[in-house]
């Protein structure tokens, strides 16, 4: 006899002894409902335990990739190449998320018959080991980040915390930085580029380079360091560190104002950097 039935019988005998048998039907119904609710709660708890995210500790990884543009493409191609050609692959599978069908990553995924999702996506437990986001342009909510046992890694085109934001390459050139680099970090919800750093690589800025040339260079370096990080995830997770808040600078989205040339206030060097940063992407204007 289980505890619930025993309790019901005790209640029945107690009420009969006190000549309160007329209350038994109501009490019996109440106790039965209580017992059923306990069973349902137990089933729900057992179900929640079985739906916990399963964490794998070594490659090859099942990856969900978030991307959009040419900078994204280098990393995606690197992942696909590793999956298809490496004798000891770091990548087991790659599926793709895009926020629009009108982008390079979407076209590449379709041409190469990759599983493709439109943003936003639903939570998918126990399907992927890790996420990779490169130049995606959308904040990813916590419920999506948590569906990956190892979180989501981001490739960012600067040595964080310098040049957090949407346009690190342009700001690198405009400000005359001689050294830049790439960072691999774990993303967090609600804010861009604030996560802990797993890996970095410094890259000298080539003399007189344009923003497009620097983007190509950093896209290649970023793809390399991301794959290297993926090959040793447990090690890099043990070594990850928070960003130094004292050294934060921001690379906000370029404005039209930033493309104006002012002959009276700018030096020749400033105008040269401005031209190399913007002329391939924006119309330059002269302000008198």
> Looking at the predicted structure, is the pLDDT value of residue 168 above 90?
yes
pLDDT-derived band of residue 66, with 50, 70 and 90 as boundaries? Answer: very high
Kind plus residue range of the DSSP H or E element containing 171: helix 168-174
The pLDDT of residue 284: 82
The pLDDT of residue 48: 45
The pLDDT of residue 39: 44
The pLDDT of residue 34: 46
**3-state DSSP call for residue 218?**
helix
pLDDT-derived band of residue 2, with 50, 70 and 90 as boundaries? Answer: low
Quote the CA–CA distance of 83 and 193 in Å, as a whole number.
28
> Looking at the predicted structure, is the pLDDT value of residue 228 above 90?
yes
The pLDDT of residue 282: 76
pLDDT: which is higher, 288 or 185: 185
Give residue for tokens 């493409």.
73
**Buried residues in 175-195 as b, exposed as e (16+ CB within 10 A):** eebeebbbbbbbbbeeebbbb
The pLDDT of residue 53: 63
**3-state DSSP call for residue 79?**
helix
Other Cβ atoms less than 10 A from the Cβ of 203: the count is 20
Quote the CA–CA distance of 146 and 192 in Å, as a whole number.
17
Length of the chain: 288
The predicted model scores a pTM of: 0.81
Cβ-proximal residues to 278 (8 Å cutoff; 6+ apart), any chain: 170, 211, 254, 258, 259, 284
pLDDT mean over 204-229:
98
pLDDT-derived band of residue 281, with 50, 70 and 90 as boundaries? Answer: confident
SS3 content of the chain, % helix, strand, coil (to 5): 45, 20, 40
pLDDT-derived band of residue 160, with 50, 70 and 90 as boundaries? Answer: very high
* Cα of 96 vs its chain's centroid, Å: 12
Of 36-45, 113-122, 188-197, minimum mean pLDDT range: 36-45
| CA proximity to 187, closest of 223, 149, 154 | 154
pLDDT-derived band of residue 46, with 50, 70 and 90 as boundaries? Answer: very low
Residue 22: both structure tokens together = 């007329």
> Looking at the predicted structure, is the pLDDT value of residue 13 above 90?
no
Inter-CA distances, 144 with 96, 121, 188, 227, 229, Å: 14, 8, 10, 22, 21
Of 5-9, 194-198, 244-248, 268-272, minimum mean pLDDT range: 5-9
The pLDDT of residue 287: 76
pLDDT: which is higher, 186 or 8: 186
The pLDDT of residue 210: 98
């Amino acid at each position: 006899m289980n505890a619930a039935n025993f309790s019901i019988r005790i209640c029945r005998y107690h009420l009969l002894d006190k000549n309160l048998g007329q209350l038994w039907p109501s009490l019996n119904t109440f106790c039965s409902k209580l017992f059923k609710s306990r069973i349902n709660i137990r089933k729900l708890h057992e179900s929640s335990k079985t739906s916990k995210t399963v964490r794998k500790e070594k490659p090859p990884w099942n990856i969900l990739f978030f991307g959009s543009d040419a900078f994204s493409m280098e990393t995606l191609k690197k992942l696909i190449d590793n999956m298809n050609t490496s004798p000891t692959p770091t990548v087991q599978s790659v599926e793709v998320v895009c926020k629009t069908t009108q982008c390079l990553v979407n076209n590449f995924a379709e041409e190469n018959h990759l599983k493709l999702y439109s943003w936003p996506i639903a939570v998918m437990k126990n399907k992927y080991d890790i996420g990779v986001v490169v130049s995606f342009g959308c904040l990813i909510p916590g419920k999506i980040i948590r569906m990956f046992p190892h979180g989501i890694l981001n490739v960012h085109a600067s040595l964080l915390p310098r040049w957090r934001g949407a346009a690190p390459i342009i700001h690198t050139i405009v400000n005359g930085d001689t050294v830049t680099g790439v960072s691999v970090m774990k993303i967090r919800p609600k804010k861009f580029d604030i996560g802990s750093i797993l890996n970095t690589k410094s890259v000298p800025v080539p003399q007189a380079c344009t923003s497009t040339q620097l983007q190509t260079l950093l896209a290649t370096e970023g793809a390399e360091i991301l794959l290297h990080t993926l090959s040793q995830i447990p090690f890099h997770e043990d070594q990850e560190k928070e960003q130094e808040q004292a050294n934060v600078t921001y690379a906000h989205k370029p404005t039209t104002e930033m493309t104006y040339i002012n002959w009276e206030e700018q030096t020749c060097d400033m105008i040269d950097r401005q031209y190399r940063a913007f002329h391939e992407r924006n119309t330059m204007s002269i302000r008198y």
